[in-house]
Amino acid sequence: EVQLQESGPGLVKPSQSLSLTCSVTGYSITSNYWGWIRKFPGNKMEWIGHISYSGSTSYNPSLKSRISITRDTSKNQFFLQLNSVTTEDTATYYCARQGWITTTDDYWGQGVMVTVSS
């Protein structure tokens, strides 16, 4: 069974960088697309970006100047780095797999809540 687990600090100071790890078991990240999505306080959801089976990336233009998604295939992990964070980046961050058949995010991690505050 595909399982994803996010990890990272729950508190980040403004202007610093947010770094999150998604650890995947039961499926290789050298197949499919692997993405990050966030949910803000309230209900708003935002797609952040993804990394493909080949290592190519695609980012939300609204965040493109600040984000980087990378991977370590030997550990079956992929990563999100978001630079120059502000309080508006406070959200729950999810990693997810995009399925070939479903063409959308079909397996999700449990999410990690990140607060940006001094």
Partner 1 sequence: DVVLTQTPVSLLISLGGQASISCRSSQSLVHSNGNTYLHWYLQKPGQSPQLLIYQVSNRFSGIPDRFSGSGSGTDFTLKISRVEPEDLGVYYCLQRTHNPPTFGGGTKLELK
What's the rounded Cα separation, in Å, for the pair 82 and 100? 27
Which of 32, 52, 91, 109 forms a contact with partner 1 (CB under 8 A)?
109
- Of 34, 36, 78, 94, the one binding partner 1 by CB under 8 A: 94
Residue 58 binds partner 1, judged by CB under 8 A:
yes
In the bound state with partner 1, the residue whose beta carbon lies nearer, of 14 and 100, is: 100
Task: For residue 34, give the nearest of 54, 19, 60, 63 by alpha carbon.
Answer: 54
Nearer to partner 1 by Cβ, of 30 and 102: the residue is 102
Q: Which of 29, 105, 114, 116 binds partner 1 (CB under 8 A)?
A: 105
Q: What is the dihedral of CA 81, 86, 87, 89, to 10 degrees?
A: -30
Number of Cβ within 10 Å of residue 15's Cβ equals 11
Neighbours of 45 (CB within 10 A): 12
| Interacting residues with partner 1 (CB under 8 A) | 39, 43-47, 58, 60-62, 94, 99, 102-106, 108-111
